[in-house]
């Protein structure tokens, strides 16, 4: 139940919240369904104002009761009710909500890992979560740049497969010719940025990014520690020496932009990334783009609480594309639009350059 930061929810809360999603939006509207515990909606609602009152996000670590065993009992109860429901003839609306609930839980599977890493990383003994669970040891498979021709390209989700509403509104964009890297930036490349005074050169940073660096005394990616003049980083397999050849992780947009400036390049826009995605390997890191999180043309929000899923967050955030080493299997596609505030770094985020 530990919560070291507002953005890092406790594992117990993730288990209960994903269960609540199925209960609140799918089971509760069914005739004769008996809610497991009426208090759970208040405790485990995340940000759905239409679903009623909820605790402050920063207070999730204060939920000492129910304990973990009761949360598992809650999950078992909801699983049984869902299994019964799935044997019935379902409406299209219920079917779509079930698929949304599964994808929602896959998102939280990744968040559970990243939040757990942040929690353990704040323990001064750097405890191991699991042997072999480094997750930041992977390397690039290719190098060089790919050229993409100028033209008009169609962006957005177009098939009948599942997608989130923020991917809809397929539309055309004009893109100038550009080159995009086949590889992601490595730890060694980023150490060169650090050694060259990257965190001390205000010319490389957006103004709010420079203010963030100064206010928080940032001088390295998240989880990095300089020990006896050698960089180490916390991984879920414990504290390790930084592998210079491995792909960089845990940097925010501010840092990604400054690094690109230092290299004399830039970050790709989300549209450039999507156009080029079939030409390079992706999926090891969420990749920062130089695109603000905004609605596509003809974007519409669903009525009620489900409409709060994406639309109300379309301000002051930047788009990331791809997936990460912690993303659930099959929970990625090239039209997927992830989004975080520019200073946030606890996800498995990385940098791909364009020019």
Does residue 136 form part of some domain?
no
103 and 179 part of one domain: no
User: 291-328, pLDDT tens digit by residue?
Assistant: 999 999 989 988 898 998 888 999 999 999 999 999 99
Q: What is the pLDDT of residue 240?
A: 98
Number of domains in the chain: 2
Cα 55 from Cα 165, distance rounded (Å): 27
The CA distance from 279 to 125, in Å, is 42
Based on the fold, state whether residues 342 and 215 are members of the same structural domain.
yes
161 and 37 housed in the same domain: no
Residues 192 and 252 in one domain: yes
Q: Are residues 22 and 153 in the same domain?
A: no
Question: What whole-number percentage of the chain has pLDDT above 70?
Answer: 100
d(CA 305, CA 37): 20
Q: Are residues 171 and 42 in the same domain?
A: no
Give residue 198's pLDDT: 98
pLDDT at residue 309 in the model: 86
What CA–CA distance (Å, rounded) separates 239 from 130? 12
pLDDT at residue 3, rounded to an integer: 96
Range(s) of the domain holding residue 215: 145-350
Of 121, 153, 180, the residue at which a domain comes to its end is: 121
Considering the domain architecture, whether residues 164 and 306 belong to the same structural domain is answered as yes
Q: Rounded to whole angstroms, how far apart are CA atoms 137 and 134? A: 6
Residues of the chain falling short of pLDDT 70? none
For residue 268, give the CATH number of its domain.
Answer: 3.90.1580.10
Q: Do 100 and 227 reside in the same domain of the chain?
A: no
pLDDT, residue 352, reads 98
Check residue 175 and give its pLDDT: 98
Nearest C-alpha neighbor of 25 from the set 89, 104, 80: 104
Its pTM surpasses 0.95? yes
pLDDT score at 16: 98
149 and 113 in one domain?
no
Q: Are residues 232 and 303 in the same domain?
A: yes
**Per the domain annotation, does 234 fall within a domain?**
yes
186 and 87 within one domain: no
């Amino acid at each position: 139940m530990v919560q070291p930061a507002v953005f890092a929810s406790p594992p117990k809360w993730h288990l209960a919240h994903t269960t609540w999603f199925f209960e609140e939006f799918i089971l509760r509207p069914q005739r004769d369904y008996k809610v497991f515990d009426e208090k759970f909606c208040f405790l485990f609602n995340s940000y759905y104002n239409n679903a009623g009152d909820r605790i402050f996000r920063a207070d999730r670590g204060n939920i000492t009761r129910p304990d973990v065993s009761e949360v598992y009992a809650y999950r078992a109860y909801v699983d049984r009710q869902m299994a019964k429901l799935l044997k019935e003839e379902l409406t299209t609306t219920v079917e779509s909500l079930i698929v949304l609930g599964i994808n929602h839980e896959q998102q939280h599977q990744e968040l559970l890992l990243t939040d757990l890493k942040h929690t353990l990383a704040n323990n001064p003994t750097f405890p191991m979560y699991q042997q072999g669970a480094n997750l930041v040891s992977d390397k690039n498979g290719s190098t060089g740049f790919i050229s993409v021709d100028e033209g008009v390209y169609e962006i957005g989700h177009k098939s009948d497969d599942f997608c989130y509403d923020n991917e809809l509104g397929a539309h055309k964009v004009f893109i100038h010719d550009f080159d995009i890297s086949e590889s992601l930036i490595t730890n060694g490349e980023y150490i060169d940025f650090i050694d060259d005074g990257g965190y001390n050169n205000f010319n490389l940073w957006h103004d709010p990014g420079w203010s963030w660096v100064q206010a928080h005394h940032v001088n390295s990616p998240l989880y990095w520690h300089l020990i006896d003049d050698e960089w180490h980083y916390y991984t879920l397999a414990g504290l390790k020496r930084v592998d210079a050849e491995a792909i960089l992780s845990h940097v925010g947009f501010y840092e990604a932009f400054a690094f690109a400036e230092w290299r004399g390049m830039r970050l790709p826009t989300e549209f450039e990334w999507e156009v080029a995605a079939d030409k390079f390997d992706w999926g090891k890191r969420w990749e920062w783009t130089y695109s603000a999180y905004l609605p596509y043309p003809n974007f519409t929000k669903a009525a009620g609480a489900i409409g709060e899923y994406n639309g109300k967050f379309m301000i002051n955030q930047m788009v990331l594309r791809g997936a990460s080493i912690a993303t659930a299997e099959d929970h990625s596609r090239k039209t997927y639009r992830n989004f975080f505030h520019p200073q946030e770094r606890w996800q498995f985020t990385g940098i791909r350059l364009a020019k």
